Structure 1
Amino acid sequence: MKSMFMFGPNVIPDSQIFYQSLHCFGLVNLKPIIPGHVLVVSKRLVPRLNELRPEEAADLMISARNISSVIEKYYKGTSVTFALQDGPDAGQTVPHVHMHIIPRRTEDYENNDDIYSDLNKFEYRKQGVDHEERKPRSELAMKLEADQLRVLFGK
């Protein structure tokens, strides 16, 4: 029997999940800012960080740490940006606690903080394009990336 993963109102196919813990899962990004941009999401659907139970919040951070160490190495990064947009006024477009994990390299952005502007342009939509430069990836492309990452996590 397949598991059902939700990301806000969106049903996420198993094929896009590459990591699971007790309270979280890692999924590939529909519109990554740069290669390796993934998400860690709480399994329980709550919109705000302060609504997570302590053990869920702890697991989110432990999962982010575990995922980032693998992602950084696999995508040949030298650093990692973690971003958690907690509420709509913070740029959260999907009302579900999630953290962006983005491998970084020297000079991947001319101005290092421009990455946050790019994050604010993100919207998770199956249909349509909200930011012209970042078109949604195909389900096949997302599956292939998740398959590669799953191997790195021994799954």
Structure 2
Amino acid sequence: MKRDENCIFCKIVAGDIPASIVYEDGNVIAFADIGQVTKGHTLLIPKDHQPNVYELQEDTASQLFRVVPNIANAIKKEFNPAGLNLVNNNGEAASQSVFHYHLHFIPRYGTEDGFQPTWQDNSSKYSAEELQQIAQGINQHL
């Protein structure tokens, strides 16, 4: 298993830094985020150090997302939130601050709960043809 000695999440995996563990198996670990954007804010990480989604191995992604519904449902049962955001930031421009892949589970309790993502609707800026070009451009790299 790859480890980065300077990575705070690798230190949590190794047990060098304490964490409030929600779930753990041989491949992944979930723990309460110390920042608790909202009550129940949980992080899910692979035990193997992989910096971001661009470098995330397919088998690692499979191991992570296999437990996503279980963690989400456990949060729902414990806190009964009105909703839940799953968030992953990749790169500094996307506000990634720990460069070990991690998925945030952020329970939502209403519009004033402290987490305010902003989504801008740009649907009027793109024609059907432009959307088709965007899709084809991405598809050619799969």
Q: TM-score, normalised by structure 2?
A: 0.66
Gaps of at least 5 residues in structure 2 are 119-142
1:59 aligns with 2:73: no
- Inter-partner Cα distance in structure 2 for 1:18 and 1:28: 7
Q: Which has the higher contact order (CA 8 A, sep 6+)?
A: 1
- Inter-partner Cα distance in structure 1 for 2:31 and 2:4: 11
Range with bigger deviation, 8-17 or 93-102: 8-17
- Secondary structure of 2:54's counterpart equals helix
Give yes or no for contact 1:83–1:100 (8 Å, CA) kept in 2: yes
Partner in structure 2 of residue 48 of structure 1: 52
Q: What is the root-mean-square deviation of aligned Cα atoms in Å?
A: 2.7
Give yes or no for contact 1:8–1:45 (8 Å, CA) kept in 2: no
Runs of 4+ more than 6 Å apart: 5-8
- Secondary structure of 2:74's counterpart equals helix
Gaps of at least 5 residues in structure 1 are 118-155
Q: What are the residue-to-residue correspondences of 1:41-120 with 2, within 5 Å?
A: 41-105=45-109, 108-110=110-112, 114-116=115-117
The equivalent position to 2:41 in structure 1, one of 37, 42, 49, is: 37
Q: Identity across aligned pairs (percent)?
A: 25
Matched residue count: 110
- Inter-partner Cα distance in structure 2 for 1:7 and 1:109: 39
Partner in structure 2 of residue 123 of structure 1: none
